[in-house]
Structure 1
Amino acid sequence: MKKKKYIFVFLLIILLLGSCNILRHKDLNKDNLSAKDRYEFNYSFMEAEKQKMLGNFNDAAVLYEKCKKLDPLSAAVYYEISTLLIQKEQYNEAIKNARMAVKLNPQNTWYKAILAVLYKQINKPNEAISVYKKLLKENPQRVDFMYELAIIYNYVKKYDDALKVYEIIEDNCGVSETVSLEKERIYMVKGEKGKAYNEIQKLINSDPAQIRYYGMLAESYVSEGNFDKANEIYQQMLKVDGNNGLVHLSLSDFYRLTKEYDKSFNELKIAFASNDVDIDVKIKMLITFLKFSNESAELKEQSYNLLKVLLNTYPDDTKVHALYADFLIKDNKVEQAREQLRIVTKNEKSKYIIWEQLLLIESTLADFNAMFTESLEALDYFPNQPVLNYFHGLSAYQLKKYDDAEKTLKLGVDLVADNPNLKAEMYSILADTYNKLGKMKESDNAMEQVLIIDNGNKIILNNYSYYLSLRGDSLDKAERMSLICVELEPENSTFLDTYAWVLYKQNKLDKALEAIEKAYNNGGKNNAVIVEHYGDILFKLGQTERANELWNEAVKLGKGSEFLNKKIIQKTLIE
């Protein structure tokens, strides 16, 4: 039994009825008191009432005890002490006082009622039953006592006794959902399914427009596998309220159980188009549906159909557009997903995860103009989210807005708390940004920060080496870092080119030639910079004719260095 609920509900009823004063004054045993004691008793009792109303229960308890000493035969005092002990959850002591109140005034209904509730509280159902039976003998029309008695009979599994009490309630009050469902539950426990179903049918007969009762009965038939009978009830539901989306949702579940999948899906579409079914229920169902959408073309098509129904039903609901975007992303339709996410961010600015998802798509599409604009707007709402600084810094760098990139990335790295990979990425872009701004020392420091976080970062090791080689600075360090990259990926043409160029700058031409040939033969022949470097190394080794051929190849491939055309025209090495 749910214990505390009974106690406090009962106390609330007493307070609402306002019966206490009537009862108390009637039960005060003042005739045996002297005038002085009577005055002291009345004053203390009223003051105790006042303190109790103010919530000063300890003060009230002291005053009630004083009253008890003045008049140990006052039932009202024992009753009030009992209620205070209930507040302290001292139930055994509360029972002692409640018993005394009943003993002193056996006719008082409230004293017996609180005693019954206390017996339930300490799990003495038989004692509670005895008290409730006495209460009902004295108050045969009290339906609340009938309910309490039936509940306890249920608890001790005296189901037939509980049913008798519920029948009396029904005779007094008519058919009610509470009683019928309790009777239905008891009949199911007893294995009397026919009687159980009759109880729900009684509810239907008492309120034929209440569609919920039909659903209960249909589900009962489904649970025992009687699909024909269940189908009859579902068809009745359609006749009663065919426009109710909940009816169609129930039918969809039913047809799925009977393996009538086309019917099930059609009913589901009707339910999704109805406002009777809560949108959150639909979204939860659709999320489950979408998990399996890639298992077959039919499921995927059905997913799209349901999503479109939701969009038509809730065109302004951002949750639906966000869900549609998730599905489109899963289906690799990122541009369409982007449009859905833009609808969300236009109408709902406060959902950070949507901004991040949108910016990830812009990154996938390499739409740096959109990324720049959207990340800037997102930062207005979430200025302390470093991921937004990352996207804004990345897009600014790609758009050659190096001052913007520097500013936002410097802010971003300071915001990162527990994401070392993100911090390393931001320092990496910051290093390239500083390099573009000619801030070589700051660029080197940024790359050192990356290597502190990830000392095996191949991209940084390669770029750092290359930047140093271009400046002719710290070439031994550049060679060590570049060699790490080559050893990790010996066929990577970019890493081989950097290594060759560092060796070239150190005038280690034979080793440089060996490295650049590997770069050229591993895809570098399609890269203008690598081909030009190959030509430079050969020229310095005295193979001028072959060098000129390679420079001409580089021109055809695309953009080489600013000196490439001059090298071809003048047929000489220019650095």
Structure 2
Amino acid sequence: AVHSQQWAVNNERRTMNNKQNIKYNTPAPARSQSKSGFRVNIRRHTYRNCFLVIGIFGLFIFSSCNMLLHSKKSNLTSREDYDFTYTFLEAERLKMLGNFDEATFLFEKCKKLNNESAIVNYELATLYIQKKDYSKAIDFAKTAIKLNPQNSWYKALLAVLYKQTNEPKKAILVYKELLKTNPNRVDFLYELANLYNYIKKYDDALKYYEAIENNFGVNETVSLEKERIYLVKGNKNKAYNEIQKLIESNPGEVRYYGMLAESYVSDGDFEKASEVYQQMLKIDPNNGLVHLSLSDFYRLNKEYEKSFNELKIAFASTDVEIALKIKMLITFLNFSNESSELKEQSTQLLIILIETYPDNNEPRTLYADFLLKENKTEEAREQLRIVVKNQKSKYIIWEQLLYIESTLNDYEAIYNESSEALEYFPNQPELYYFNGLSAYQLKKYDKVEETLKQGVEIVTDNLPLKANMYSILADVYNKLGKIKESDEAMEQVLKIDKSNKIILNNYSYYLSLRGDSLDKAERMSMLCVELEPNNYTYLDTYAWVLYKENKLQKALEIIEKAYNYGG
């Protein structure tokens, strides 16, 4: 491994001779993005993290061992040379295994054995990059270059480090040095263009972008970067020419026409934009992105009917991502209350999405929300029933459906749907409440007891819900003749809410019927009346308790009040 030949030649695989395989990483033009997204897929460039073809990982690929032959000759004894080689190979092995600290220790030992080894300094630089200690990495890279100034890889690493530490001017100097000995390396040309662009020396950036084009032909990302620069410089005609070049290089690519049309729209030239849109429709009449962009164009031109017609075509096309459609639809829904026309348009778009994506639940969920706001409760219920049939694992949809069923007082549906939902969400206390309440209304008292006994055990911080469960349980226990359990359930409610009027009234009434703890019954009934003095039901109960205590005169006074309040 140590004596493999021609490592530099082998690594020339990195040189890109086939212009169709060139890949760049560059920013898209700094225009405002239209909804059509013709520029959305252009890959973005982040200066500090862009390592490109000669990035950090690329620099790790080639074998360090192969470069040992290119280290400076040293005066090592045969034993020292053996120790150096063995230690180096062991360090290399540890680095490959990801043991960077141990590898660093051994490479530093190699440096002590032979302080004129360029490759050792290079390896230490790469390891300190892993540790994010860029200052040390730069020092070791510089030393490697000093010991072997002809090695392009060492210089490339230093350039990358300067980019990482946001020192673009230093990186430019290194790349220029690299370009002297590698004049046809597109990656170096591109790095220089990108760096000059970053420091806003646009003329220099253009020079290198043009050099790339001269060597490798028209390239989308380079052309778009040139367009952006020309726009910054205020030269719109040259900016348009860059897009025209892309169209000429690939006349069947509708995206380029879209970019040009959007550029014209951005500059207010609607006539030229319209001409380009007509060309786009001829090339690809069924392209949803074309119709979406055209919808935006008509909207800006205040041709609203045409705009909406194009939007409907775009919504029916799978060329446009559903996420974008949903985002646009939500905007429609937010303003739908402002006019009947917007409501109608919102409805049409919702139905188009449901028909286009029958297996996607999001459009149906949005439609259900829309129908609820329009008080079309039964229609909303039908949409949510389809959603839970297709997707049973989303709890919030089950809960929303059950609330709708409760507003419709459809207890049979509540019971069946909450029973099914509990199979998927046994730890959701609200489902126990819905199930218990509906079973109560359907007079399935044994089921109420079974369900709500489980429910009160899993409720934690929702005390009002727990109180409601105990309240239903108390009534059911009373109906089942379980008097002790009924009293205990009502006591639990009063622990949570000592002013619960329904329980105060019912508890006092049940006690009076049995003739038990009449003084306690009187206190609870009196408190209930104090809380709501004009409620004839509570007054009637209070009069009854007083009657059971043989306090007839006071009972008569209270029952007369109840009568006067409508009882």
- TM-score bracket relative to the smaller structure: 0.7 to 0.9
Distance 2:52 2:93 in 1: 22
Describe the SS at the equivalent of 2:55: helix
Distance 1:295 1:473 in 2: 62
Describe the SS at the equivalent of 1:6: coil
From 55, 76, 80, the counterpart of 1:10: 55
Residue 153 of structure 1 contacts residue 161 of structure 1 at CA under 8 Å; is this kept in 2? Answer: yes
Q: Is 1:138 matched with 2:193?
A: no
Structure 1 residues 57 and 312, CA gap change in structure 2 (3 angstroms): closer
From 491, 506, 523, the counterpart of 1:480: 523
Q: Name 2:366's counterpart in structure 1.
A: 323
The answer to which structure has the higher helix fraction is 1
Residue 91 of structure 2 contacts residue 103 of structure 2 at CA under 8 Å; is this kept in 1? Answer: yes
Residue 102 of structure 1 contacts residue 108 of structure 1 at CA under 8 Å; is this kept in 2? Answer: yes
Letter in 2 for 1:371: I
Q: CA deviation at 1:433?
A: 0.9
Letter in 2 for 1:446: A
Greater shift in the superposed pair: 341-350 or 251-260: 251-260
Q: Name 1:400's counterpart in structure 2.
A: 443
From 107, 111, 119, the counterpart of 2:150: 107
Residue 153 of structure 1 contacts residue 159 of structure 1 at CA under 8 Å; is this kept in 2? Answer: yes
Q: Name 1:539's counterpart in structure 2.
A: none
Q: Name 2:14's counterpart in structure 1.
A: none
Structure 1 residues 280 and 169, CA gap change in structure 2 (3 angstroms): same
Letter in 1 for 2:285: G
Distance 1:161 1:299 in 2: 51
Distance 1:197 1:476 in 2: 93
Q: CA deviation at 1:30?
A: 3.9
Describe the SS at the equivalent of 1:418: coil
Residue 53 of structure 2 contacts residue 187 of structure 2 at CA under 8 Å; is this kept in 1? Answer: no
Q: CA deviation at 1:242?
A: 1.8
Letter in 2 for 1:506: E
Distance 1:297 1:341 in 2: 24
Q: Which structure is higher in RCO with an 8 Å CA cutoff and minimum separation 6? A: 2
Q: Name 1:125's counterpart in structure 2.
A: 168
Q: CA deviation at 1:5?
A: 4.6
Letter in 1 for 2:76: L
Q: CA deviation at 1:271?
A: 1.4
Structure 1 residues 508 and 202, CA gap change in structure 2 (3 angstroms): farther
For residues 142-157 of structure 1, what are the structure 2 equivalents within 5 Å? 142-157=185-200
Give the CA RMSD over aligned residues: 2.3
From 412, 435, 446, the counterpart of 1:369: 412
Letter in 2 for 1:45: F
Residue 29 of structure 1 contacts residue 73 of structure 1 at CA under 8 Å; is this kept in 2? Answer: yes
Distance 1:471 1:228 in 2: 90
* Residue-by-residue CA offset, 1:311-350 (whole Å, 9 max, x unaligned): 2222233333322222222222222222222222222211
Q: CA deviation at 1:362?
A: 1.8
Alignment coverage as a number of residue pairs: 522
Q: Name 2:81's counterpart in structure 1.
A: 38
Letter in 2 for 1:14: L
* Residue-by-residue CA offset, 1:264-294 (whole Å, 9 max, x unaligned): 2222211121111222332333233223323
* Residue-by-residue CA offset, 1:59-81 (whole Å, 9 max, x unaligned): 32233233323332222222222
Percent sequence identity over aligned pairs: 70
Distance 2:325 2:317 in 1: 10
> Which consecutive unaligned segments of at least 5 residues does structure 1 have?
525-575
From 52, 55, 61, the counterpart of 2:104: 61
Q: Is 1:314 matched with 2:357?
A: yes
Describe the SS at the equivalent of 2:427: coil
Q: Name 1:451's counterpart in structure 2.
A: 494
Residue 7 of structure 1 contacts residue 117 of structure 1 at CA under 8 Å; is this kept in 2? Answer: no
* Residue-by-residue CA offset, 1:446-474 (whole Å, 9 max, x unaligned): 12222222222222222223323333333
Greater shift in the superposed pair: 128-137 or 332-341: 332-341
Distance 2:257 2:566 in 1: 72
Structure 1 residues 63 and 299, CA gap change in structure 2 (3 angstroms): same
Q: CA deviation at 1:145?
A: 0.7
Q: CA deviation at 1:388?
A: 0.7
Describe the SS at the equivalent of 1:389: helix
Q: CA deviation at 1:142?
A: 0.4
Q: Is 1:230 matched with 2:282?
A: no
Describe the SS at the equivalent of 2:149: coil
Residue 54 of structure 2 contacts residue 187 of structure 2 at CA under 8 Å; is this kept in 1? Answer: no
Structure 1 residues 3 and 450, CA gap change in structure 2 (3 angstroms): same
Structure 1 residues 517 and 292, CA gap change in structure 2 (3 angstroms): farther
Distance 1:427 1:365 in 2: 24
Q: Is 1:188 matched with 2:231?
A: yes
> Which consecutive unaligned segments of at least 5 residues does structure 2 have?
1-45
From 458, 463, 472, the counterpart of 1:420: 463
Letter in 1 for 2:59: I
Distance 2:53 2:106 in 1: 23
TM-score where L is the length of structure 2? 0.86
* Residue-by-residue CA offset, 1:187-218 (whole Å, 9 max, x unaligned): 22222233223222222222223232233333
Distance 1:455 1:303 in 2: 49
